[in-house]
A and B are shown apart, each in its own frame.
Chain A
Amino acid sequence: QKEVEQDPGPLSVPEGAIVSLNCTYSNSAFQYFMWYRQYSRKGPELLMYTYSSGNKEDGRFTAQVDKSSKYISLFIRDSQPSDSATYLCAMSAVGTNAGKSTFGDGTTLTVKP
């Protein structure tokens, strides 16, 4: 079983919808949680990162971490066609050797105009 499981998708929503992207994990040592966005044929880019539990908001994006359930989410409000991409969750533990992250396999999102 993988340490990080991500909802596989694909996900297709109309423009303006609220999108929820989710990951679960099994390693209780994970303390840092990241979300990356990857456009087709491009490298992943870091969207948001959070430490431990709680919420973090950045514009239309909200990252939520529930460590008790080992569950993280990324919410996108008022989704736009430009949000169409693959979203990757990633996690790492404090003091992890070389800061290595464990990635989910990604969820592909399409926002239709």
Chain B
Amino acid sequence: NAGVTQTPKFRVLKTGQSMTLLCAQDMNHEYMYWYRQDPGMGLRLIHYSVGEGTTAKGEVPDGYNVSRLKKQNFLLGLESAAPSQTSVYFCASSYRRSGNGYTFGSGTRLTVV
């Protein structure tokens, strides 16, 4: 099915380990986003990208890095995982217009022990 694909779906990390979450979309969307979702805190924007080769910080960027080398892919990296980064991570994409809404991936459940 067309849409946003996230890998992996689940991951357990030890404190201090690193990992990369991959997001791929096949809708030719210009904008891509990484969110984390935590109970009682809603969706919080980590980083976003307005096009290939561009990235920008969102609301909660500390501890994360991103790259968008290809238009269809948006990678989220954790350099040194901390228990506070235990969360569900969602990637989303949209066209270059406000108000059209996002297409979300199915999420990555990350636990840092």
Contacts and interface: CB of A to CB of B under 8 A. Distances in A.
Whether chain B is bound by chain A comes out as yes
B42 A49 contact: no
Max chain A Cβ within 10 angstroms of own Cβ: one of B42, B45, B102: B102
Contact of A95 (B31, B98, B107): B98
Interface stretch (B14-22, B67-75, B89-97): B89-97
Which 7 pairs, one residue from A and one from B, show the smallest C-beta to C-beta distance? A32-B99, A43-B104, A105-B42, A46-B101, A103-B43, A99-B98, A92-B98
B98 A49 contact: no
Interface residues of B, number: 28
Interface of A: 31-32, 34, 36, 41-46, 49, 51, 88, 90, 92-101, 103-106
B70 to A, nearest CB: 18
Given A46-B101, A51-B99, A99-B97, 8 more contacts: A32-B99, A92-B98, A94-B98, A95-B98, A98-B31, A99-B31, A99-B94, A100-B48
A98 B56 contact: yes
A45 B4 CA distance: 11
Given A43-B90, A44-B90, A104-B42, A99 B96 contact: yes
A110 B24 CA distance: 32
A93 B98 CA distance: 7
Contact of B106 (A32, A43, A46, A49): A43
Interface in B55-91: 56, 58, 90
